[in-house]
Structure 1
Amino acid sequence: MRTLIFMTAGVLSLLGCTTPQEQARKQQVEMERMIARYGPACTQLGFVANSDPWRNCIIQSATRDDVNRGGVSTSIFGGWGSGGRGSGIGIGIGVGR
């Protein structure tokens, strides 16, 4: 029985692993999404497209929006960024409503 539990835990942990290439691809897709959303506004603010200050404007704008929305918790223990209501993804054992 113990062997079955350890084997199951090992398989589940391996399923959650991603390769560095997959992580880089996900980050690239996320950056492209942010550029499409915030790039035009940063250009209108006077930043030269594809410059470091322009990219910084995009990242700051995305971060500001995430903070204003309360953010997204990727913790299995619940999030505290949404008024302390334990709004995390997963088992969410934070403080209830």
Structure 2
Amino acid sequence: MRALILSAASVFCLLGCTTPQEQALKQQAEMNRMMAEFGPACVQLGYPANSDPWRNCVVQLAAKNDSKRSGVSTSIFGSWGRSGWGSGSGVGIGIGVGR
């Protein structure tokens, strides 16, 4: 029975692995999404499309957007949320959900 559980767990672990090619495809898809979402804003900011400064702008805007969405709070009282009212409680580092 123990061997069966161990082999089943091993199979599930191997199913979660991805090849380097699959990882590269996922990263390329994510970059394409970021360029479609933030590229027009960077052009409006004056960066020529598909230039290195434009790409830097896209990455910076995406990072800024992700940090706003993550809602990580290091307060022992939780995060304040968008409305200014407490939306989390507990001691330690809390992660806001549903932002």
TM-score greater than 0.5 by the shorter chain: yes
- SS at structure 2 position matched to 1:69: helix
Evaluate the alpha carbon distance shift between residue 19 and residue 37 of structure 1 in structure 2; reply closer, same or farther with a 3 A threshold: same
Q: Which has the higher contact order (CA 8 A, sep 6+)?
A: 2
Evaluate the alpha carbon distance shift between residue 86 and residue 34 of structure 1 in structure 2; reply closer, same or farther with a 3 A threshold: closer
- SS at structure 2 position matched to 1:18: coil
Evaluate the alpha carbon distance shift between residue 20 and residue 47 of structure 1 in structure 2; reply closer, same or farther with a 3 A threshold: same
Question: C-alpha offsets along residues 4-40 of structure 1, whole Å, 9 cap, x if unaligned?
Answer: 1110111000110001111111111111111001001
Gaps of 5+ in 2: 74-78, 80-93
Gaps of 5+ in 1: 72-80, 88-97
TM-score by length of 1: 0.73
Larger radius of gyration: 2
Measured in 1, the distance between the counterparts of 2:9 and 2:47 equals: 49
Percent identical among aligned pairs is: 63
TM-score by length of 2: 0.72
Q: Select the structure that is richer in strand.
A: 2
- How far does residue 51 in structure 1 lie from its aligned partner after superposition? 1.1
